[in-house]
Copies of this chain bind each other. A is one copy, B any other.
Amino acid sequence: MHRGMKKRANSESFVEPLDCVVRDLHLLPLGVGAERRSGATLYQQLYDSLRSAVLDGRLQPGTRLPSTRAVALELGVARNTVIVVFEQLVAEGFLRSRVGDGTWVADFEPELLSRPVRTGPKSPRARREGVSGGMASPLSVRGRAIVGVSRGAPGPVDGAFQPGLPDIAAFPHRTWARILARHARTPEHARLGYGDAAGDPRLRTAIAAYVTATRGVRCSPERVVPVAGAQAALDLCVRLLLDPGDPAWIEEPGYAGARAALLGAGARIEPIPVDAEGIDVAAGEARCPGARLAYITPSCQFPLGATLSLERRLRLLDWAERAGAFVIEDDYDSEYRYRGRPITALQGIDADGRVAYVGTFSKTMFPALRVGYVIAPEGLAAAFAHAVRNTGQSVPQPVQGALAEFIDAGHYGRHVRRMRTLYARRRARLFALVGEHLSDVMELVPCEAGMQVAGLFVDGPDDRAVAAAGARAGLALAPLSGYWLGPGGRAGLHLGYAGVSEEALGRAVPKLARVMGLR
């Protein structure tokens, strides 16, 4: 295997390498009563020591090693261990052996062997031209864009007031575990191979039926593509629908996850203002008529809670059709609407295959489930399915099969309905408590939907300072101004209530009042 090797006879090295092993590598005492490196087998210690000695040049190329018998005696290990180590190092090319001729350190070209295995800090290395300012990053420009948006650390799972967090304790874990276990214990083997790369057909069918019945979405199961959550869905959509440099509308204020996905895909984002009717489509058309994509949250604008009006829905679709642009409808928590039925999806009135609809189970089951889905625009189902395979974003079995059963058997709808009642009570309690304790400083934005509500500071303290003070008091407070990209941001807080019991709200709101200096 190793070209250019020369056999050398070097009898003086007969003792030296063992000596080297003994002296420098602290292999002795290895035998009875010896101290051993914690966790490492004798095999591993001997292997590591010899390999390191070859790599850093202490055992020179062409050096003949002592016999396995001599090494075993000297080190106090079983001869068989030494044989296995030598064989492995021969297999890996560090040593070479010939029957009847002993074992030798392989010959390498000198410059390769002079390369020490360093373990200390690395020297910074300029990655490429055009990296402006400061430390050069080893990441690609795209990589830096992908990690460029920091979305804030999540708060404690039971703490007020993290937006987007459902009540995890209220989830029917036993029912879910029972279904999951059955699917894992007696799986259909045909579902465990590489076959369903675009998703388990049972889950795709269950989701299609659910969104058709509850959201007015129009789709066949083939257009449903399960992925690892809404963020993965956004990531997939923007990569498939946008090229680097393409302009895209986002809501101002808006969702940082969407901003991260768009910037990671190299999009040029155009913040379009939001009012009580949702995104201002006419402003979007005026500012950036040539956008290739619009990211919107029509059911419950994130973070201000507006429902996109019908007129704007029609105008948005009309623009998308004329511009040949796509709309990503992020329907992240539309299940929770406390007056009337949930507003039906924009997707349901899309006549031209312009809308990619994104849904998630993070808000209705629990976030770490990591299951969401895209309803591909009409005509793009095959492309989305293919892309999921080539980007590897599929959801595990048995989670897919179990989730399909969980939906089909009605457990999912039942849980959503229970949570709607529960969250409505919490929402009412939050509004009452804020009215009682915080009415002088904060005004809640009216909103009949969702899992959180925006509270605008009446007489603007710095919301980042309030959030920092809240963090010290154990409150997870999202400063509202952080949702704006441009100027014009309003100070306030985005208050999640879904995951906070009424009792906890009763403690947290007065605590927030103290944080804001009211008590």
**Which residues of A are at the interface with B, using a C-beta cutoff of 8 A?**
1-3, 44, 51, 55, 84, 87-88, 91-94, 106, 108-109, 111-113, 115-119, 122, 125-128, 138-143, 146-147, 149-151, 154, 156-158, 162, 164-165, 168-169, 173-174, 176-178, 180-182, 184-187, 189-197, 213, 227-235, 239-244, 246, 257, 260-261, 264-265, 276-277, 292, 307, 309-311, 313-315, 317-318, 324, 326, 339-341, 343-344, 349, 351-353, 366-372, 377-380, 383, 386-387, 389-399
Residues of B within 8 A of A154 (CB): 193-195, 197
Other than A138-B241, A142-B244, A370-B395, give 16 A-B pairs with Cβ distance below 8 A. A2-B311, A84-B341, A92-B343, A93-B309, A109-B311, A139-B240, A140-B242, A147-B386, A157-B192, A165-B194, A230-B392, A257-B390, A366-B397, A369-B396, A372-B392, A395-B396
16 interchain pairs, CB-CB under 8 A: A92-B343, A108-B314, A109-B311, A117-B351, A127-B324, A128-B324, A138-B353, A140-B242, A140-B246, A147-B383, A147-B390, A158-B189, A164-B194, A193-B368, A235-B390, A368-B396
A139 to B324, CA, bound (A): 11
Residues of B within 8 A of A158 (CB): 189
Q: Is the CB of B276 within 8 A of A1?
A: yes
A164 to B371, CA, bound (A): 26
Q: Is the CB of A344 within 8 A of B235?
A: no
Residues of B within 8 A of A367 (CB): 192-194
8 Å CB contact of A380 from B139, B234, B261, B398: B139
8 Å CB contact of A146 from B55, B174, B239, B343: B239
8 Å CB contact of A394 from B192, B229, B344, B398: B229
Task: Identify which of A292, A372, A396 gathers the most chain B CB atoms within 10 Å of its CB.
Answer: A396
A-B pairs with lowest CB-CB distance, top 6: A231-B392, A93-B310, A181-B181, A232-B392, A177-B184, A143-B240
Residues of B within 8 A of A106 (CB): 310-311
Which B residue's beta carbon lies closest to that of A186?
B173
A2 to B308, CA, bound (A): 11
A94 to B309, CA, bound (A): 9
Nearest Cβ distance between residue A244 and chain B, in whole angstroms?
7
Residues of B within 8 A of A44 (CB): 213
A249 to B433, CA, bound (A): 62
A513 to B437, CA, bound (A): 83
8 Å CB contact of A390 from B119, B260, B292, B396: B260
Nearest Cβ distance between residue A319 and chain B, in whole angstroms?
11
A329 to B180, CA, bound (A): 34
Which B residue's beta carbon lies closest to that of A235?
B391
Given contacts A1-B309, A173-B187, contact A146 B240 (CB under 8 A): yes
Residues of B within 8 A of A119 (CB): 351
Given contacts A228-B393, A234-B392, contact A317 B140 (CB under 8 A): no
A1 to B87, CA, bound (A): 79
A390 to B259, CA, bound (A): 10
A51 to B391, CA, bound (A): 39
Q: Is the CB of A142 within 8 A of B181?
A: no
Q: Is the CB of A189 within 8 A of B165?
A: no
Q: Is the CB of B55 within 8 A of A349?
A: yes
Given contacts A108-B314, A187-B173, contact A146 B391 (CB under 8 A): yes
8 Å CB contact of A126 from B244, B324, B399: B324
Q: Is the CB of A228 within 8 A of B351?
A: no
8 Å CB contact of A368 from B191, B277, B292, B389: B191
Which B residue's beta carbon lies closest to that of A141?
B243
Residues of B within 8 A of A314 (CB): 108, 112-113, 115
Residues of B within 8 A of A371 (CB): 396
Q: Is the CB of B91 within 8 A of A151?
A: no
Q: Is the CB of B311 within 8 A of A395?
A: no
Residues of B within 8 A of A341 (CB): 84, 88, 91
Which B residue's beta carbon lies closest to that of A39?
B213
Q: Is the CB of A243 within 8 A of B140?
A: yes
8 Å CB contact of A379 from B55, B138, B234: B138
